[in-house]
Structure 1
Amino acid sequence: MSQSAVKRLYLMQVGIMPEYQIPVVCYLVQTDDGKNILIDSGLPEVLPEGETEFENGQDVIEQLASIGVQAGDIDTVVSTHYDGDHAGRHAAFTQAQYVVQRAHHTEAPNNPRFEFVRPQWDQPMERIRLVDGDTELLPGLELIETSGHAPGHQSVLLRLPKTGAILLTIDAVPFGEGFTRDEQDNAGNPDAEATRASTIKLLDLVEREHVGLVIFGHDPEQWATLKKVPEFYE
């Protein structure tokens, strides 16, 4: 088995949903050959007037700089989906290729949900790589199609040299309590069936790939226990 190209994983909290102190997060993956891959970019630098659902914290640009990474050093932005707390700083990474599921990018321009950060994610097509379904981006980094929270949402499976397999569920499973085969109350979810199918898909993946760490997208209790920048997983 060839050695994984993925070397490190950094976790960054860039804001909160203040009502429940829910973290807004993004991730940096570094490879053996010096590549920097950002997974999501967090909240916009300036939130819309009257915004109460989110509060900005330390910006992703500042957190990257704290470990010696500048915006121009980011080679790839893995865009899990275009919600404002995940794609809010995409345009800052002017040297990066953006990787997104085709189903998501195709649907987004017609969905008002993604409109307020459209200047961030609506990049020239020569800089966007559209993928279809589960895709190995590079050795040790796989994109897992997990529609439900949004059409063409994607999660990320990493394989690190020491830690082993780590699954970033992103918003497919935002909280650990939802990572179960039991029926969930998805009354407020417009695509509950797809959400459940993606949850089962990730549970099967964890069993099949012997994933040792599952990091949920917005779980405050779990987040308090994890390593954050400048610490990292390797």
Structure 2
Amino acid sequence: MNQTAVQRLYLMQVGVMPEYRIPIVCALMQTQDGRNILIDTGLPEVIPEEASEFENGQDAVEQLALIGLSPDDIDVVVSTHYDIDHAGQHAAFTRAQYVVQRAHHLDAASNPRYAAIRPQWDQPAERLQLVDGDTELLPGLTLVETSGHVPGHQSVLVRLPRTGTVLLTIDAVPFASGFTRDPQDGAGTPDAEAIRASTIKLLDLAERERAALVIFGHDEAQWNGLKLLPEYYD
């Protein structure tokens, strides 16, 4: 197995979209040298009126406390994108470096889609690490550019010592039913072609890496069967 810096992967469900039974999720990776890397931060503590379809649960800060971590213990926040259910508590992690695709961060600056939580994701330049395309962040931890859901969306590939390769598709493929090479109905989807390209990219990657586990961003049936914090994958 390829060498990896990541020793543990914790999964957290931090909220829900009740009408559609869609889980809102985050993840935490811990490295061999003691670093804590958070993938997304979930919903804001106070949900804006325009996002009333979401409902908070036990948030990331509360769940991290269950394993003895505070926000100051988080070294890196991998921001997959700035939607309200993924970047809603970025500002809580005041010591973290934020890693985001450059294309996404630049688009967000003038995109009203992300305006409601701009104080969360609009961090000082010295705390941002802007990446361009697929990027190996650490040995065994790769960020995968998967535009389509939004420009500059990124998924995450991590190699664990025992479990093997885990692919977190995030919102590039939110449901298992969409992880297919079969044509999908893209009617009404502005970036259907890009979504399709990113889906094929992730399918190819999962096959090439012989992924032991592919975790979809909002699939209730799958998340009901996964190990959730304080349990972990190693």
How far residue 140 of structure 1 moved from its aligned partner, in angstroms, is 1.2
How far residue 145 of structure 1 moved from its aligned partner, in angstroms, is 0.1
How far, CA to CA, are the matches of 1:202 and 1:51 in structure 2? 29
Q: Which amino acid is 1:85 matched to?
A: D
TM-score by length of 2: 0.98
How far, CA to CA, are the matches of 2:51 and 2:100 in structure 1? 27
How far residue 2 of structure 1 moved from its aligned partner, in angstroms, is 5.8
Percent sequence identity over matched residues?
74
Q: Which residue does 2:18 correspond to in 1? A: 18
Gapped runs of 5+ residues in structure 2? none
Q: Which residue does 1:123 correspond to in 2? A: 123
What is the CA deviation profile of residues 32-90 of structure 1, one whole-angstrom value per residue up to 9, with x for unaligned ones?
10000000000000101364310000011000001111100000000000000000000
Structure 1 segment 85-164 matched on structure 2, within 5 A? 85-164=85-164
How far, CA to CA, are the matches of 1:50 and 1:159 in structure 2? 38
Q: Which amino acid is 1:62 matched to?
A: E
Q: Which amino acid is 2:206 matched to?
A: V
Q: Which residue does 1:47 correspond to in 2? A: 47
Quick check: 1:191 aligned with 2:191?
Answer: yes
How far, CA to CA, are the matches of 2:189 and 2:226 in structure 1? 28
Q: Residue 118 of structure 1 aligns to a residue in which SS?
A: helix
What is the CA deviation profile of residues 120-167 of structure 1, one whole-angstrom value per residue up to 9, with x for unaligned ones?
000000100000000000011100000000000000000000000000
How far, CA to CA, are the matches of 2:183 and 2:163 in structure 1? 31
What is the CA deviation profile of residues 161-181 of structure 1, one whole-angstrom value per residue up to 9, with x for unaligned ones?
000000000000000000000
Q: Residue 87 of structure 1 aligns to a residue in which SS?
A: coil
Q: Residue 67 of structure 1 aligns to a residue in which SS?
A: coil
Q: Which amino acid is 1:15 matched to?
A: G
Q: Which residue does 2:77 correspond to in 1? A: 77
How far, CA to CA, are the matches of 1:21 and 1:198 in structure 2? 25
| Count of residues in correspondence between the two structures | 234
Gapped runs of 5+ residues in structure 1? none
What is the CA deviation profile of residues 8-42 of structure 1, one whole-angstrom value per residue up to 9, with x for unaligned ones?
00000110000021100000000010000000000
How far, CA to CA, are the matches of 1:88 and 1:178 in structure 2? 26
Q: Which amino acid is 2:33 matched to?
A: D
Q: Residue 104 of structure 2 aligns to a residue in which SS?
A: helix
What is the CA deviation profile of residues 179-221 of structure 1, one whole-angstrom value per residue up to 9, with x for unaligned ones?
0001111213210000000000000001111111000000000
Q: Which amino acid is 2:128 matched to?
A: I
How far residue 96 of structure 1 moved from its aligned partner, in angstroms, is 0.3
How far, CA to CA, are the matches of 1:96 and 1:34 in structure 2? 14
Q: Residue 88 of structure 2 aligns to a residue in which SS?
A: coil
How far, CA to CA, are the matches of 2:50 and 2:118 in structure 1? 19
How far, CA to CA, are the matches of 1:184 and 1:25 in structure 2? 25
Q: Which amino acid is 2:121 matched to?
A: W
The answer on whether the counterparts of 2:2 and 2:140 sit within 8 Å (CA) in structure 1 is no
